Amino acid sequence: MKKSMLGVIDATMLPGEMGDLALYRSPAAIPFAGRYRLIDFVLSNMVNSGVQSVAIFPRSPYRSLMDHLGSGKDWDLNRKRDGLFFFPSPTKEGQLDRMSEHLDYFHRSDQKYVIVSNCTTVANMDFAPVLDRFIKQNCDILEITHKGEPTYIYLLSLDLLLRLIENRHETGYESVQAAIEDEASSLTKCHYEFEGFLKRIRTVDDYYQTSMQLLEKDKWSELFNEFQPIYTKVKDEPPTNYLAGSYVTNAMIANGCIISGEVNHSIVFRAVTIGKNTTIKNSIIMQKSKIGENCVLEHVIIDKDVSVEDGAVLRGTPEKPLLIKKGSVESAVTSS
């Protein structure tokens, strides 16, 4: 029973309104919640639900996504049988078209059911009760909803998925979503309402607001619990060092940081340094960025490897956070 689900993650989402967050990377690989990438949530949910075979359909650029996933070891998916599969499909556009290029994988799998998911949904969800519902209600295709809205996560039988792929030209369906949205189809469609915390990240605003919500304890604890952990690529960072003069409140901080300044209501990823007399509020600082001394950062999203030089002042607004591109250098002069 447990082994009976395949996981399919469609990571072909276009950057769209993700802006510079998806400049060099797949939206699936956007850093999130201090130490994760967006794909970690769906992938961990699958693994925690007993899925042992996961196929990822990426779109270029996918270097950072591949680098993140590696052999799948950190999700316990480096298996002799099953495991993690990466299926690029550079010439095809539609979801079912892409899958048609990798039919061998589906034919070779002996799992009976398939979860088809997008790559940027942030939630901690057990798919086992979803499968129970699917079987009990004799569904052909099940859509998970949240507050009545679609989550773009589906459960169907492998047989049906294969038929959808094979008949895609006759039906005109480009994706599983198209099949469920076709009111004329004869498929038995069901819904499963997910009650917990769930956000689908599609825009910079989604990203910023959802991140800030994680600083509320009740939201945070709906996403992180010890029984269904969210896995991610392991980095060997030391614990974070809070130096004399640091003042940190209401923050989520990853390992490997050296903090001398003030951090309030913010998320700090691993290996970030924050200099003396610097104030950071309502901001997100991604991994390995260096924030100098005497800086002021409010409502900003600092991508990876950014260097903010001493005395720089960077301000966005709650509605429009200022996004600083990966690898850029912000000096006091350019920012004022």
Partner 1 sequence: MAKQKCVAMLLAGGKGSRLKELTENLAKPAVPFGGKYRIIDFPLSNCANSGIHTVGVLTQYQPLVLNSYIGIGSAWDLDRKNGGVTVLPPYSESSEVKWYSGTASAIYQNLNYIKQYDPEYVLILSGDHIYKMNYDAMLDYHVEKQADVTISVIEVPWDEASRFGIMNTDTDYNVTRFDEKPEKPESNLASMGIYIFKWSILQKYLEMDESNPDSSNDFGKDVIPAMLADNLKLIAYPFKGYWKDVGTVKSLWEANMDLLDDEQDLNLFEYSWRIYSVNPNQPPQIIGSQAEVKHSLVNEGCIIDGAIEQSVMFQGVEVEEKAVLKECVVMPNARIGRGSFIERAIVMSDLEIPENTIIRNSSNDILLVTEQFLAEHVEQQTKVEEA
User: Is the Cβ of residue 60 or residue 247 nearer to partner 1 in the bound state?
Assistant: 247
Q: How far is the CB of 253 from partner 1 (least distance, A)?
A: 5
What does each C-alpha distance from 253 to 7, 175, 233 come to in angstroms? 31, 39, 17
User: Is the Cβ of residue 160 or residue 251 nearer to partner 1 in the bound state?
Assistant: 251
Q: How far is the CB of 239 from partner 1 (least distance, A)?
A: 4
For residue 29, the number of C-alpha atoms closer than 13 Å in the C-beta half-sphere is 24
Q: How far is the CB of 280 from partner 1 (least distance, A)?
A: 13
Q: What is the dihedral of CA 67, 71, 73, 78, to 10 degrees?
A: 160
Q: How far is the CB of 75 from partner 1 (least distance, A)?
A: 10
With residue 123 as reference, give the H or E element that holds it: strand 121-123
Q: How far is the CB of 261 from partner 1 (least distance, A)?
A: 13
User: Pairing between strand 189-193 and 141-146?
Assistant: parallel
User: Is the Cβ of residue 9 or residue 254 nearer to partner 1 in the bound state?
Assistant: 254
Residues with Cβ < 8 Å from 260, sequence gap 6 or more? 243, 244, 245, 246, 274, 275, 276, 278, 293
What are residue 171's phi and psi, to 5 degrees? -80, -25
Q: How far is the CB of 279 from partner 1 (least distance, A)?
A: 15
User: Pairing between strand 83-86 and 53-58?
Assistant: parallel
CB atoms within 10 A of CB 16: 10
User: Is the Cβ of residue 55 or residue 253 nearer to partner 1 in the bound state?
Assistant: 253
Quick one: which of 15, 35, 11 has its CA closest to 284? 35
Q: How far is the CB of 287 from partner 1 (least distance, A)?
A: 11
Q: How far is the CB of 284 from partner 1 (least distance, A)?
A: 12
Rg value, the chain, Cα? 21
- The residues of the shown chain that bind partner 1, judged by CB under 8 A, are 33-35, 73, 217, 220, 224, 229-232, 234, 236, 238-244, 246-256, 258, 263, 267
With residue 11 as reference, give the H or E element that holds it: strand 5-11
Check if the beta carbon of residue 95 is closer than 8 Å to that of residue 165.
no
Q: How far is the CB of 302 from partner 1 (least distance, A)?
A: 16
User: Is the Cβ of residue 87 or residue 242 nearer to partner 1 in the bound state?
Assistant: 242
User: Is the Cβ of residue 103 or residue 234 nearer to partner 1 in the bound state?
Assistant: 234
Check if the beta carbon of residue 231 is closer than 8 Å to that of residue 47.
yes
User: Is the Cβ of residue 122 or residue 176 nearer to partner 1 in the bound state?
Assistant: 122
User: Is the Cβ of residue 129 or residue 245 nearer to partner 1 in the bound state?
Assistant: 245
User: Is the Cβ of residue 36 or residue 62 nearer to partner 1 in the bound state?
Assistant: 36
CA distance 131 to 228: 17
- Which residue reads 């250098």 in tokens? 329
Alpha-helical runs (H) found in 26-110 = 39-48, 63-69, 95-100, 103-108
Quick one: which of 298, 292, 283 has its CA closest to 252? 283
